[in-house]
Chain A
Amino acid sequence: AQSVTQLDSQVPVFEEAPVELRCNYSSSVSVYLFWYVQYPNQGLQLLLKYLSGSTLVKGINGFEAEFNKSQTSFHLRKPSVHISDTAEYFCAVSDRATNKLIFGTGTLLAVQP
């Protein structure tokens, strides 16, 4: 079975500052890793994914994440945030056989002017 832990329920940050949202996962098998973003009253939108290959993956809106197998982490980073990045961010792990996603509890990124 897989599980995902997002330790930070909320991350306040000032506009143009860097940010890191933490994600740790647990799995006994090889997995895919994802970050999704959810804006208020909207569905989930894929930010980026790690399937294989390079451990540093780049996504939309200037976000990137690094897969660290030894630390079972997949932290999300952005060097300079904008007000428009305010949203809920979900880390997820996928079973490679079924593609079923297991989500973390989410981190609210609150960007302040």
Chain B
Amino acid sequence: DTGVSQNPRHKITKRGQNVTFRCDPISEHNRLYWYRQTLGQGPEFLTYFQNEAQLEKSRLLSDRFSAERPKGSFSTLEIQRTEQGDSAMYLCASSSGFSGRAKDSTGELFFGEGSRLTVL
């Protein structure tokens, strides 16, 4: 399977604990995005990387959240001191971005199945 892979698929934790999610993008994609989706809502942008550089962070990404993409391949999203309001589906997506040739970029994001977090 060469799609976007996310682990774990489900995580149940107690309030105050730390959790970490991992995303493995499509191998040739240089851009990686994190989104959060709560019940009945559309996905909300959290942050994105181009290669290993984190280029944008949403105001939704409080100081308890940190994302990394150390080698420009997989990414991790860590939530420290979880709160019940953090319960959501965390979606990862990747895209090819622009290579300098417009025809190489379709603008399409490919999404993983998501990691569902439940904070008790």
**Using a CB–CB distance below 8 Å, which chain A residues touch chain B?**
4, 32, 34, 36, 42-46, 49, 51, 90, 92, 94, 96, 98-106
Q: In the bound complex, do residue B114 and residue A43 qualify as a contact, i.e. CB atoms below 8 Å apart?
A: yes
Q: Does B65 reach chain A (CB closer than 8 Å)?
A: no
Instruction: State which of B42, B55, B56, B114 has its C-beta within 8 Å of the C-beta of A103.
Output: B42
Q: Which residue of A lies closest to B45 (CB)?
A: A100
Sort chain B's interface into a size bin.
20 to 34
- Contact stretch, chosen from B68-76, B77-85, B103-111: B103-111
Distance to closest chain A CB from B93 (angstroms) = 8
Q: In the bound complex, do residue B107 and residue A90 qualify as a contact, i.e. CB atoms below 8 Å apart?
A: no
Please name all residues of chain A whose beta carbon is closer than 8 Å to the beta carbon of B22 when the two chains form the complex.
none
Asked if A100 meets B43 with Cβ closer than 8 Å, knowing A42-B113, A43-B112, A49-B107, the reply is no
Q: Which residue of B lies closest to A90 (CB)?
A: B42
Please name all residues of chain B whose beta carbon is closer than 8 Å to the beta carbon of A102 when the two chains form the complex.
45
Q: Does B117 reach chain A (CB closer than 8 Å)?
A: no
Please name all residues of chain A whose beta carbon is closer than 8 Å to the beta carbon of B41 when the two chains form the complex.
105-106
Q: In the bound complex, do residue A43 and residue B55 qualify as a contact, i.e. CB atoms below 8 Å apart?
A: no
Question: How far, in whole Å, are A10 and B90 apart by their CA atoms in the complex?
Answer: 23
Instruction: State which of B40, B107, B112 has its C-beta within 8 Å of the C-beta of A99.
Output: B107
Distance to closest chain B CB from A93 (angstroms) = 10
